[in-house]
Each structure stands twice: as C-alpha cells, then as structure tokens.
Structure 1
Amino acid sequence: MDDGHEQKAPAPSYRYVVLATLILVYTLNFLDRQILGILAKPIKDEFGLTDGQFGLMGGLAFALLYTTLAIPIAWLADRFSRVWIMTAALTIWSGFTALCGFVGGFGQLFMARMGVGIGEAGGVAPAYSLISDYFPKSQRARALAAYAFGIPLGSAAGTLVGGLLAVHYGWRTAFVAVGVLGVILAPIFRLIVKDPPRGGADRAVGAPPAPPVPAPPVPAPPFGQVVKLLAAKPSFWLLSFGAASSSVCGYGVAAWLPSFFMRSLGLTLSQTAWYYSGIALFGGLLGIWLGGAVADKLGAKSKAGYPITPAVAFLISVPCFLLAMNSGALFGGLGGLGGQGALAAAFVIFLIPTGLNLAWLGPITAAVQHLAPAPMRTTASALFLLINNLLGIAVGIYYFGLVSDLLKPTFGAESLRWSIYTGMGFYLLAAVLFFLASKRLAKDWVD
C-alpha cells in the first residue's frame, strides 16, 4: 500500500522538477560521503590514525549497515511511500553527519559514520524506482545519468566546502554545517516530490509518465520471488560484480586522491580542495552524461550497448589515469613546464579518466531496472546496490589505505601512489565483466 500521493497522475513537465530535486538530495548524499576524504589529514593528525584505520572507518563503518539495511528498506519502498522513506533517510544521515563534528575519538567517529550509513541506506534505491516511474524507457538511461550528477556535484562540494571550512574553522565545523543543511532540506523534499503510479512510464514509450486515469497499483511480490527471479539471470550478476569492481577503485580513488595530492604533489589542504573539486565536478558531469547519452543511442539498436559503453570507457581510462598521476614528472621534466604548468597539465588529464570511470552509472543502473518488472524495481536496485556498495565502499576505501600502509616501508611517502596503481586492475576486471554481460542482457531483459 502507498499513501495518497500515488493516486493522481503528475503533469509531464513535473518529472523534471522531481529529477532536479532528487539530484539535489543525491548531491547531499555524496557530499556527506566525500567530505571525509578531504578531512582525512586533520582527522588523522588529531586522532593519530594510520591509513588502514582511516580506510576502515571510511569504508566498513559506512558500508556495513548502508548495504545490509538497504534491502529491508527497499522492500518497504516497494509497498509504501518512497517519498516518506527518502525524507526519513535524508534526515537521519544528515543528523549523523552533523554528529561527526562532536566526536571525541576514533571509536565515536566510527559509530557516527555507521549512523550516516543507516540513513543513506534509504536514499538511492527508492530514487532509482521513482525515476523509472517518471521517465519512459527511451529516456531512462539519460534520466538516471542525470540523477548520477549528484556524485560529481556532491564530491566537488564535499571536497571544496569541507576543505575550506576545515582550513578556516576546523574539520568539526565542516561536518556540522553540511549535516544541518540536509536536515533543513528534508521537509522541503517531502513537500515537492510525489509518488507516481508504479510502472506508469512503461505503458507507452514517449508518452507522459502516467495515463489520465492511472491503473490500480500492482501489489509488490514477496522478497524471495525477487531474489529467485534475479538469481536466474546471469546478466544481473555480471552487471552487479562489474559495477562492484569499478566501485572498488572508484570509491577508493575518490577517498584517497586528496591525500595523494597533498603528499605527492605538495598541495596544501586549501589548494587540494579547489584542485580536486574542479576535477570531480567537470570530469564527472561530462563523463556521466556522455555515458547515458551514448548508451541510450546504442541501446535503442541493441541491449548490449548498455554494458559495452562503460566497458570501453574503462579500457580507455586506465592508461589515462596512470598518465595523469605521472603528468607532474612528465611535463615538469621532459616537457620543461614549471610546477604550476605541470599541475595544470595534470588537471586536464585527470578530467579524462574521472569522466570515463563514471560513465557506467546511467547505462548500468538503467539496465538493472529492466531486469525486473516495475513492482520489483526498488528491491532489485537494492540487491544490485548491496553487491556494488558492500564491495565498492567497504573494500575499496580500506584496500587503498591498507596497501598504502603495507608499502610504506618500501616506498615511504609515495606508498599511496603505488597503492592506487595496484587498484587500476579493478577497472580492467569491470570491463571484462561488462563485456560478458553484453552477451546475455537481451535474453534477461524485461520490457
């Protein structure tokens, strides 16, 4: 059952208002995640943490409950108001983010980040389902790609705002400020967004998201039925583990690049905030939109186009990323550029892999939406996110910190650089899994 919001068909133009609001909420979602990366140095200095400890807190502390609670929350979202669930989720994760500013040690901060994970468990899968019920199939990859704009927007905002607030007012103030902002936004989100009829956008491609007289909602099937359906589809596992492989490196790099810029490139906290926020913003926006647009075009001809698009992007991104990490030495030495010129060259090159590595978001999340009927979509998305985030966040952020600690006796201050090098293999694995998924997707597709 749902609340009364799902009984009236929305105007076609209203779906763009909903999408913009969902992007804003997703921006806060990633702002609260990414802010930890830019604050790594002052937090580590105050609490005396190693890279491995910080990686454990940024990864496992957040991901453990974030991924596991997403399943029962998605089950509820397939039966009750998705808007109310997202409103509560935004309030909870923002409140715990603010609480991070009052902790007294590693243990308390670990618990506070677990609280952030509890709240964010209800923030993404219901949004995927809402977007799929507002936009027709022919526009779904682009709509989900636009929703994913929240990742670079939030990453850039978290890095810039968090870094500058930490420089001028301390890292604790940064947590409190962004947390309070989310709490204020929660009731506004509840007033703006309404639940559309489930499956309404599936009835006619290119038509308004819902007919003039909405059909009665289809009851959500039991959880076990959703699991059984997806378990029998090889493309679900290939897409999920392909996304997880990319996220191991994606989340890990996003969390540790600010530290790399400070250690290996000699940037200050303030300089890193500006430098990395620009890379995350411009590279991420371009890559995400390009991935969604290309996948919609290729997917109209063949379903294989959805996973092939990011697979090719990953194969191109790996050498570009390695070049970007060494562009300072390359252009500062062989190229004869000064320090500022080498940094500028590195900035431009970093834009390419940053964008390509996020190109999977629109195509793969759109494909997952088509592996299950409309009443199962939220739960199917949560199962996909369980695999993606449990490996991507919990393993990725901790992996780079642990390997950095292990390599420190050999490479010293450059151990983080070599740790990031080793992670590039996860992008290659993701490309292989997506290529394999392209062979099975058409057979598993649900129109």
Structure 2
Amino acid sequence: HRPFIIAAALALWSLFTALCGFAQTFAQLLLARIGVGVGEAGCTPPAHSLIVDYVPKEKRASALAFYAMGTPLGGLVGMTLGGLIADAYGWRMAFIVCGLPGLLLAAIAGLTLIEPRIRASADELRARAQQMRDAKPFREALATLRKKRTFWLVAFAAAIKAFIGYGQAPFAASFFYRNHLEEVTALGAMFGLAPGGFLGLSLGLMAGIGGAIGSFAGGAIADRYGSRDYRAYVSVPAVASVVIMPVFLFGVLSPSAVVALLSLFFGAIIGTLWYGPVYATAQTIAPPHMRATASAILLFIINLIGLGLGPLATGALSDMFAITFGMGEGEGVRWALITASLTGFVAAGLFWLARKSIRAEMEG
C-alpha cells in the first residue's frame, strides 16, 4: 500500500496548498497550512521504505540522496515561480498554481509506482499479514531501535545539522542587507534587479543548485566507499561537518558580498552531503517491516530540533549580540550565524562516535 499512501499524501498537501489561495481569514489559512504539513509528513517515510526495496543495499545512499534532491530543487522552482506569479497575479494565485499540479502528479504516482512486496508468495504475504496484526508497529519499532546505538547517534547528529541549516536560512538575506547593502544594490543594478530581487534569486540558486549537488554527491561518495567499509556512511558527514567550518567562516567574515555568496554556495554543497548517508544508515539498520516507522522517528527528531529550535535560537542570538552586547544589527546577525555553525563540531563528534557500532548494526 505504500504507493497509495504516497499518492494520497501528495494529493492531500497539493489540495491544501491550493486551498491556501482561497483562505479569507487567518484561521482558514492556518488550517490549510496544517493540512499541507500533515500531507507532507505522510510522504517521506513510505517513500524511503519503498526506495530501499527498489535498489540494492550498496546503492541505497545514492537513491535516497537523489530523492532528497527534490527538496532544494523544488524550493528553487517554487520560490522563483511563486514569486513571479505572486507579482503578476497576486499571492492567492501563486498558491493555486503551485498546488493544483500536485493532484495530477498524485494520480501518476498512484498509477505507476510499484509495490515490490506484492511479488512475494502467498504464504509469505499471509505470514507477514499475521505478523503485522499481532504487532504494535510503533512500540515494537521504538523498542528495536532503542538497542541501535548508531541510529540515535546519527539521528541527533543530523538534527544538529538541520538546526544549523534551518537556523541560518531565514537570516541569510538579513546578513547581506545589514553588512553588504551597498554592494548588493550595485550588483542588482547590473542585472536590472532591486536588492531584494537580486538577493532572493542569488540565495535561491545557491540553496537549490548547491543543495542538489551536495545531496547527490554525498550519497554517491558514501555508496562508493561504504561498499567496502560501512563506516563511510558516517565518516562522510563527519568530515563534511568539519570541512564546512572554514568555508562558512571565510564567507561571513569577508568584506565582499561576492566572496560571501560564493562561500555560501560551496557551503550549501558541503552542508547537504549528509542527506543520503544518514537516510541510508537509518533504513539499513531498521528491520524491513519497520523502515517507514524508523524514517518517521528520524524525521521527527530532525524537524523537532532543526526546524523547531534552529530559527528561534539563531534569532535570539542575533538580538543578544546586537542589543545586549552592543554589537549592532550587522555584527549581531553575523556572529549569530557563526555561533550556530559551531554546533557542527558536535554533529561531527556524534557521526564519528557512530563509527564504533555501525559495522555490526548494518551487517546485522
């Protein structure tokens, strides 16, 4: 039933995205956005589980990384297309146009995605159905994963990486406005764009293209070396978490907006190398019938810490540096971004600790 679940989730969030365009009150818009969140939450766990069944073990990181490329590329297209439509026809039409095509994609997904498990023999299907009737999926999965040291180390390391990414994203434009406005204005004028338009396009391209490259590269590198040594699945994100530090610091401390943008582009590549290896590790460690639940638990931890705390903590740090320490708005946001990025050393340490247990748990 995984293709049906994926198709239903896609249809649900696409419908609610379109309904955002018809909202007349804040409460209606809030409810529609909640519907979008519910639909989105229902897609990735079964998608991860399905992808793992499609590909051999040594290609899992690459396959999951390819799937993860959809997030930065979709964000790039959505922000660009949504902005153009909103400017031309209003924000309501932007929601409608971005939402309705998803209903067609949902139908295509439901009709074309194949459930590999239906190829099992009748006896296997009956045994599996009886096992699922007797089990309590979430409780059983949690009890099983509780014994998997690698899963939790990787989950919290990934959550810290998300904390950095989600925390920095909302303040990137503010950083350039407060520290490089004159240069950004001049750069935008060269392309006939206002500062906001130039920054939006530049940061969108940086995150979309850089994130897609990093996501796919991380999976490919991990699979290449992980076929010989499973520790590569945590070594790649561990090393990347350290390497990104000087690249990011060079950018945010540079007096040049161009240098800062280029550094952040390369930072976007390095900063997304963890996607494929992390998701592949979680899917390989979990037993086959628990993979979707394991993915849901992993994403819950990542989003709770990353999306829930990242923007809040970075904003609070920016205000603290700017007001309490009297640095001013420009230096405040600069040092907030730097401070948030330093937590990457903790992520690197957790990934490195997972090297001790990943071989036994992935082979098991």
TM bin (shorter chain) = 0.7 to 0.9
1:107, CA displacement in angstroms? 5.5
Q: How does 1:414-429 map to 2 (within 5 A)?
A: 414=330, 415-429=332-346
Q: How does 1:271-290 map to 2 (within 5 A)?
A: 271-290=198-217
Partner of 1:85: 5
Paired with 2:210 and 2:124, the residues of 1 have a C-alpha distance of 43
Q: 1:103 to 1:401 in 2, by over 3 A?
A: farther
Partner of 1:257: 172
The answer (yes or no) to whether the contact 1:163–1:273 under 8 Å persists in 2 is no
Paired with 1:110 and 1:406, the residues of 2 have a C-alpha distance of 30
Partner of 1:392: 306
1:429, CA displacement in angstroms? 1.4
TM-score scaled by structure 1?
A: 0.70
1:141, CA displacement in angstroms? 1.0
1:109, CA displacement in angstroms? 4.4
Paired with 2:250 and 2:275, the residues of 1 have a C-alpha distance of 24
1:125 to 32, 40, 45: 45
The answer (yes or no) to whether the contact 2:151–2:281 under 8 Å persists in 1 is no
The answer (yes or no) to whether the contact 1:96–1:115 under 8 Å persists in 2 is yes
Partner of 1:299: 226
1:105, CA displacement in angstroms? 6.5
Q: 1:124 to 1:271 in 2, by over 3 A?
A: same
1:181 to 82, 98, 101: 101
3-state SS, counterpart of residue 156 of structure 2: helix
3-state SS, counterpart of residue 370 of structure 1: helix
Answer yes or no: is 1:430 the counterpart of 2:347.
yes
Answer yes or no: is 1:377 the counterpart of 2:291.
yes
1:405, CA displacement in angstroms? 4.2
Answer yes or no: is 1:239 the counterpart of 2:154.
yes
Q: 1:174 to 1:265 in 2, by over 3 A?
A: farther
Partner of 1:351: 265
The answer (yes or no) to whether the contact 1:373–1:446 under 8 Å persists in 2 is no
Which runs of 5 or more structure 2 residues have no equivalent in the other structure? 185-194
1:152, CA displacement in angstroms? 1.8
Partner of 2:124: 216
Q: 1:121 to 1:236 in 2, by over 3 A?
A: same
1:435, CA displacement in angstroms? 0.5
Partner of 1:324: 251
Which amino acid in the other structure matches residue 226 of structure 1?
A
Partner of 1:361: 275
The answer (yes or no) to whether the contact 1:308–1:434 under 8 Å persists in 2 is yes
Q: How does 1:85-234 map to 2 (within 5 A)?
A: 85-103=5-23, 109-197=29-117, 216-217=124-125, 218-219=128-129, 220=132, 221-223=135-137, 224-234=139-149
Paired with 2:86 and 2:178, the residues of 1 have a C-alpha distance of 18
Q: What is the number of residues matched between the two proteins? A: 342
Which amino acid in the other structure matches residue 237 of structure 1?
W
Paired with 2:43 and 2:306, the residues of 1 have a C-alpha distance of 17
1:103, CA displacement in angstroms? 4.6
Partner of 2:361: 444
Q: 1:214 to 1:310 in 2, by over 3 A?
A: farther
3-state SS, counterpart of residue 145 of structure 1: helix
The answer (yes or no) to whether the contact 2:8–2:106 under 8 Å persists in 1 is yes
Q: How does 1:33-72 map to 2 (within 5 A)?
A: none
3-state SS, counterpart of residue 325 of structure 1: helix
3-state SS, counterpart of residue 422 of structure 1: helix
Q: Higher helix fraction: Structure 1 or Structure 2?
A: 2
Partner of 2:189: none
Paired with 2:85 and 2:78, the residues of 1 have a C-alpha distance of 10
